[in-house]
A = this chain, B = another copy of it.
């Protein structure tokens, strides 16, 4: 197993175990085991558990981005673009429940809060397609006159909630319901 391979295995193992059992149900020794490496090896690639967790988050973001933006064109109508990005994200979550559950764990934790604070304040790079789209929508007065974070909430709030319910088995989403949900989000944000 070559060096980058080990790193990858560690990240994969961490994703699986943390998504399923949470940060505190994921001992480093178990992650190492599942990754097929020694416990000490993790510390060659990640300074400590916190770094591993944060790094994994960043990798997930990067993995999602190209999937979301596939077929996305900035020349399409605004509404269409909104629906595209919403639908793509929701479907990504449904198809990658481990990723979703990890992201949820992360957001709902001290890690996530600190991360988000950096994002908002430091203007670090993120899933900026969304930001650009909303900024444009506000500028063009297609979207309601509320601050950006409210729009994020109106769009992503239901989306995450619906994804969670689906993954936990409380509802079963199909294409029709997905479409109606995203359109409802559109009703929320549009003027």
Contact = CB atoms under 8 A, between A and B. Distances in A.
Interface of A: 21-25, 104-105, 108-110, 113, 116-117, 120, 144-147, 149-150, 152-154, 156-162, 165, 168, 170-171, 177, 180-181, 184-185, 187-190
A81 to B, nearest CB: 18
A113 to B, nearest CB: 6
Interface residues of A, dominant DSSP: helix
A118 to B, nearest CB: 12
Given A22-B110, A184-B189, A188-B187, A150 B170 contact: no
A117 B168 contact: yes
A45 to B, nearest CB: 16
B144 A184 contact: yes
A158 B168 contact: no
B159 A147 contact: no
Contacts of A184: 144, 146, 150, 154, 188-189
Q: Which of A21, A116, A185, A189 has the most CB of B within 10 A?
A: A185
Contact of A165 (B108, B149, B187): B149
Contacts of A113: 168
Contact of A161 (B153, B177, B180, B187): B153
Contacts of A25: 110
B149 A153 contact: no
Contacts of A158: 150, 153-154, 157-158, 188
A108 B160 CA distance: 12
A168 to B, nearest CB: 6
Contacts of A21: 110
Given A184-B188, A185-B188, A171 B147 contact: yes
